[in-house]
A and B are shown apart, each in its own frame.
Chain A
């Protein structure tokens, strides 16, 4: 082995760095280079860091919250920190480099959060993504700025929107923020957040009207509130009016330009928001007088009653109104504070009477001068009723000198004088006291009593009963009329008519005979007499209308009488009569009448026979005589009636007299009388009368049957003869009648002169007595007596029918003929009788005329009447006593 170690070239470990360096080193260098390159690139690409100061940065997170412009992310929040005072948040945002130049001084930033309002939901995407910052700037590169003040809310014009920015002002709270501006229902703008103005008197809000609608707004445009709805009820019906449902809920403002031709509004113009369209429209004309000047007055003391809108007057002329009221704390020289009322007076300079174009400065100067001369503001009573106050600018004498404080803020202050407020409440109190003392309660009580009495009267059973009773009566009458007997009456009457026809044919024969014996002339003379009578009657009738007028007046008077009670009584009477008619007996009457008619028919048959006989027995001649006599009688009557018109005139006068009489009392008495009659009718006895009448009728029927059976014709002829004689006698007698009528006239004339009033009084009392009498038990018993007498009559008739009635009748007829003869004889003596009667009437005339003069006679008559009345009263009291104690008749007490 060779120990020689081969020469090994051993490279030194200290070779050059390059030799030792591996190519792998390129990798870290490349990585480093890339890293550095990326870092530089990143640094180079990133934009500036801007700082935005927010009051509220809720939800803003470092590294997450984006800054967006037109909803595109252009930056990221890198830092969130507080200001030194910890009252605001500084958000550092890295803005993209390409956008950064546009972020200049005019940029606006706000935080977009999810928001649910009455206008809708906004920022909904931020619910998932979290809030983000929104930036808004124009498209011009401006001076770069790194610190911004963030907005609390989104601006109204966003992302390049064009529009008109205006200020809305409202004095009465009709402006609410964050509401849409509607124009004819279309949303054309937006009202921003409302704030109270710096002077505290109004609410202001910035608003925008989006383009192109901003052309609708001119200087004369009026805005008004459309929130809520209005309900109006008028002649065209009820109407509910609201702009839209959205504005109903969320409110809204709308506008209109009532006057054309005004220039377009410029940005930041201030508009007033009115409460409704009417006020907005009216304001056009109010404001045409120019802008108002606001001054301020500070009043002491209690000014309750002064309200916004109260008038401001200068020498009685309204020159403005109170536009604001609030308290102000003043410090006295002594250092203590007290509150005074600060009143804003809006005065329209054009009403101050200044010449030419008036503006605020002129008006203030004018007022200043006036104040120097003693013009003061003071409170005076505006309305007595409401106690409202108004402000009066008046020149007050003897006031300490003062001047207007032109420099006061917010408005110049005008000095004030003592208020002139009348104490309205005291006056009202006095008036109320007096009103209290009126006896209203008593009056009401009386009225109540009266009404209740009237109610009782109307509702009384009697009054209500009248119609029912009458109705029942009618029903009963209907029943009677509808009874078979009545129904059969026409048939029977038909038979009677047949008989009559036959009779007439007979009579015609007689008339023929009469004609032949030249009775026509006589009849003609009779007719002449009748004609004269008729003319007399006509004359008589001429006076009748006056009489009728009198009677009519009388009726009018009677109309005023207390007939109600009478009505009640009549009602009762009709009820009773009703019962009477409804009685079986009454019902049976028609049947009886039917039978009687049948008998009558038979009797007529007899008469027919009789007439035939008469025809045969030359009765015509006699009849002619009778006719002659009748003609003479008519002539006499004609003469007699000549005096009738006078009589009618007299009666008319009497009626006039009667009209003036006190009939009311009489009526009441008659009412009582009727009541008594009523009770009388309702008595059982009266009720029994029809049955008795029935019986009597049946007896009569029987009698007629008997009459039918006998030959009475001859006797009748004799009777006719006697009648003829009697007629002649009567004719003779009647000759004295005219004189009699004259006498009657005289009597009537005398009667006319009598004091009938007194007589009526007497008659009234007499009727009262009669009433009492009727009410008496005895009188009540009268119907029973009558019934009994009818029963007697019936039995008498039965006797007549049964036993020798015919003979008796014959005898009676004989007696009748004798009587007729007697009458004839008497008629002959009648003229003498008439003479006597005339004399008697003359005597009466004298007596009556004596009545006028000789009062003793009247007195006697009165006394007599009084006696009669007293007697009646005595009888009445006796009747009452007996009624009360019937046994007094027995015991004598």
Chain B
């Protein structure tokens, strides 16, 4: 491939190539189907962000009932107590179990919230300038993807407790409506994170390089206009 000094930042797309995301075979960019594994080839997923936002929206939607409705319904002989996630954590703090409360708060509140924020940030930063370097954002994306599966730990706890504590009349623990919501929220968040095309992170670098030659404008709307 011939290139200029700019070749240092030459991307496959600029080189007219596209890589299969399944078997990583590189094909000319014209091909729409991998000749080796049969997967469809796309230089960029045009609906990636759209799907990200769609899943993200559903995840956030389910996150509200997950926090408003009780997570656990604990029924003992004389009383039934239902507690939300935060309410239960606060109860634990009142009872002195700060460590457990911190774990719950981190796993059930902090991490999901952080994921929402991270995904939204990544999705937004795919189109906008940001102070964060592309490498950091890539790391952030990988972190979100990695942590996502651990978010189900709350749901697991509820499932295990519900299965174990079924002492008929004396005491029983049942999952509350929040547990389902929470599980759905986590699932949709993970889908949202998965829907994100991490290559978009790097597009901005090309875009940032390109204006340096044709124009000096720094305004992104104008840049986007140039694409259209």
Contacts and interface: CB of A to CB of B under 8 A. Distances in A.
Contacts of A6: 16, 29-30
Interface of B: 1-2, 13, 16, 29-30, 46-47, 49-51, 53-55, 57-58, 61-62, 77-78, 127, 188, 191, 195, 224-225, 227-228
Contacts of A11: 46
B2 A1 contact: yes
Given A13-B228, A14-B228, A25-B50, 6 more contacts: A11-B46, A12-B228, A13-B227, A22-B47, A27-B54, A28-B55
Contacts of A15: 46
B54 A25 contact: yes
Interface of A: 1-3, 5-6, 8, 10-15, 19-22, 24-28, 31-32, 35, 128
A9 to B, nearest CB: 9
Contacts of B61: 28, 31-32, 35
B78 A24 contact: no
A167 to B, nearest CB: 42
B51 A22 contact: yes
Contacts of B51: 22, 24-25
Nearest to A15: B46
A28 B54 contact: yes
Nearest to A5: B16
A13 B191 CA distance: 23
A13 B225 CA distance: 8
A27 B225 contact: no
A31 B10 CA distance: 43
Contacts of B228: 12-14
Nearest to A17: B50
Contacts, number: 64
A13 B50 CA distance: 12
A561 B99 CA distance: 127
* Chain B residues touching A, majority SS: helix
B227 A21 contact: no
20 contacts: A1-B1, A1-B2, A2-B2, A3-B2, A6-B16, A8-B16, A10-B227, A11-B46, A13-B228, A14-B225, A14-B227, A19-B46, A20-B46, A21-B50, A22-B195, A24-B54, A24-B195, A25-B54, A28-B54, A31-B61
A683 B169 CA distance: 116
A3 B62 CA distance: 52
A824 to B, nearest CB: 149
Contacts of B46: 11, 15, 19-20
Contacts of A27: 54-55, 58, 188
Contacts of B227: 10, 12-14
B12 to A, nearest CB: 12
A22 B224 CA distance: 20
Contact of A22 (B1, B2, B54): B54
Nearest to B58: A28
Contacts of A8: 13, 16, 29
B55 A20 contact: no
Contacts of A24: 50-51, 54-55, 191, 195
A12 B44 CA distance: 12
Nearest to B14: A5
Nearest to A12: B228
* Interchain residue pairs A-B with the least CB separation, the first 8: A12-B228, A14-B228, A1-B2, A24-B54, A22-B50, A22-B51, A28-B57, A25-B54
Nearest to B191: A24
Contacts of B50: 20-22, 24-25
Residue with the greatest number of chain B CB neighbours at <10 A, chosen from A26, A28, A32 = A28
Nearest to A14: B228
A20 B54 contact: no
Nearest to B62: A31
B74 to A, nearest CB: 15
A35 B58 CA distance: 11
Contact of A20 (B30, B47, B78, B191): B47
B210 to A, nearest CB: 12
A39 to B, nearest CB: 11
B40 to A, nearest CB: 15
A341 to B, nearest CB: 59
B15 to A, nearest CB: 9
Contacts of B127: 13
A1 B50 CA distance: 38
A31 B47 contact: no
B78 A128 contact: yes
Contacts of A13: 127, 224, 227-228
B224 A14 contact: yes
A15 to B, nearest CB: 7
A3 B61 CA distance: 51
Contacts of A26: 54
B97 to A, nearest CB: 26
Contacts of A1: 1-2
Nearest to B13: A8
